[in-house]
Amino acid sequence: MRLFIVCAVAALVSLLQPSLAGAEDDAPNPAEEDPWAVEKACHAGNATACYHVGLVYETGLCCDEDDDEYFPRLLGRAADLYRKACDGGEPRGCMELGILHTRGLAVAKSDAAAAMLYGQACDAGVLEACRYSGIDYSEGRGVDADKARAAGLFARACDRGYAPACGNLGLAVEKGEGVKADGARAAKLYGAACEAGDATACLELGRLYYEGKAVPLDKAKASQYFSLACKGFVSAACVRLGIQYANGDGIAKDGAAASKLLTHPCMMGSEPAACGPLGRIHHSGDGVPRDPGKSATIFKRGCDKGDAYSCYGLAMKAQAGDGVVKNPAGAADVFRQLCDGGYALGCSALAAQMEAGDGIEKDVAAANALRIKACKAGDSTACAGSGD
């Protein structure tokens, strides 16, 4: 057994050399094949081996255990190994330890400690760490906010081939944060990052095409980028694509496809904006069976998370008694709150109720004033009725 381990360690030596500064490590992790041999190399002083076996402990690939209490111990072991790797001169160990500090896993949550470790790894050439450090400076997380320094760190990583940092740089360039604003350059940066597989950059590029900012307005092309980002598990992109399908906006209308895209983000609570259009689909039966009760439940879920359109949809159902108990007065209260918050459809709905005296006192003059307010807030359908 001893001879086997010695031979295995010898065979792995070439894989356990520290990576070149700045190079992205796409090589397989040798510790996944034989974690015990690699850990022996770590104990013998090979810092890169400590980093590799730390990754295996963190992901649980080292051990076949179902005990929930076992994984925190694995994370603790991973943290120890990352620390040993970092202290031994393997900068990727510093970065991984920083990530644990950011998330508060197995070590104390500390943005300051994480920022220091990211900076150390970035200075040693780990491009991913430069991106993390840039995010810290951009958000003032663990360090004093410095947008210019953040942009510089994103540029360092992007220029050396780390695509996700190009997406961060694109956002800084688009907004003019720490660097000169340049929409065309931002679009190119998003494009490069998206092409390299950064899903968030695909979302941002799709947004530019949807809005016609710095690139020609092209909602069909926007949907293609949203689709790429959605497949990369960016839930906001799934919502944007779902809404396009729901409205037939730049692509063929498809309620069933929209429902599929919107359901998970809404029900998981990650994207409340998905609930409004999803509730409308189930309310109207567009591509799915009409279900007034289900649509009310969906609207409530979004409304509880602060989505104005969901609150509007739920109030409309309460006014009509569709899938919920009829309550025009309660609906009017919701419409009034929405209108006071600047939501145009709330003003329009309250105006219609007030004009009809449906559950509230009839007041034609006040209704017209509400339509003017709705028109100014962006509801073009209210403009004709207000005479504004």
- pTM for this model (two decimals): 0.82
Q: Please indicate, yes or no, if residue 245 is contained in any of the structural domains.
A: no
Tell whether the torsion through CA atoms of 60, 63, 66 and 68 is positive or negative. Answer: negative
The pLDDT value recorded for residue 333 is 97
d(CA 320, CA 160): 60
pLDDT at 63 over 80: no
Residue 65 banded pLDDT, cuts 50, 70, 90: low
Residues 139 and 160 in one domain: no
Q: Please indicate, yes or no, if residue 332 is contained in any of the structural domains.
A: yes
The pLDDT value recorded for residue 71 is 64
d(CA 277, CA 246): 7
Residue 120 domain boundaries? 1-145
Residue 228 CB partners (closer than 8 Å, separation 6+): 194, 199, 202, 206, 237
Residues 38 and 122 in one domain: yes
Q: What does the pLDDT look like over 316-355, one tens digit per residue?
A: 999 999 999 999 999 999 999 999 999 999 999 999 999 9
Q: Please indicate, yes or no, if residue 293 is contained in any of the structural domains.
A: no
Residues 22 and 118 in one domain: yes
The pLDDT value recorded for residue 15 is 38
Residue 88 CB partners (closer than 8 Å, separation 6+): 45, 46, 47, 50
Residues 4 and 133 in one domain: yes
Residues 50 and 95 in one domain: yes
Residues 192 and 110 in one domain: no
* Domain-ending residue, one of 102, 128, 145: 145
Count up the domains in the chain and report the number. Answer: 3
* Domain-ending residue, one of 176, 204, 233: 233
106 token code pair: 């197995």
Tell me how far CA of residue 100 lies from CA of 109, 149, 197, 298, 360, in angstroms: 8, 24, 25, 36, 56
Percent of the chain with pLDDT over 90: 84
One-letter amino acid for residue 117 of the chain: L
Q: Among all chains, which residue has been given the structure tokens 């980002």?
A: 229
* Domain-ending residue, one of 186, 217, 233: 233
Q: Among all chains, which residue has been given the structure tokens 């603790």?
A: 76
Instruction: Determine which of 57-71, 155-169, 267-281 has the lowest per-residue pLDDT on average.
Output: 57-71
Q: Please indicate, yes or no, if residue 248 is contained in any of the structural domains.
A: no
- Vertex 76: Cα angle to 75 and 81 (nearest 5): 95
> Cβ distance 122 to 153 under 8 Å?
yes
Residues 133 and 190 in one domain: no
Residues 76 and 3 in one domain: yes
Residues 352 and 366 in one domain: yes
Q: Please indicate, yes or no, if residue 264 is contained in any of the structural domains.
A: no
pLDDT at 368 over 50: yes
d(CA 94, CA 82): 6
21 token code pair: 């500064």
Q: Please indicate, yes or no, if residue 276 is contained in any of the structural domains.
A: no
Residues 50 and 132 in one domain: yes
End-to-end CA distance of the chain: 88
Q: Please indicate, yes or no, if residue 104 is contained in any of the structural domains.
A: yes
Residue 210, domain CATH: 1.25.40.10
Residues 20 and 60 in one domain: yes
Residues 345 and 211 in one domain: no
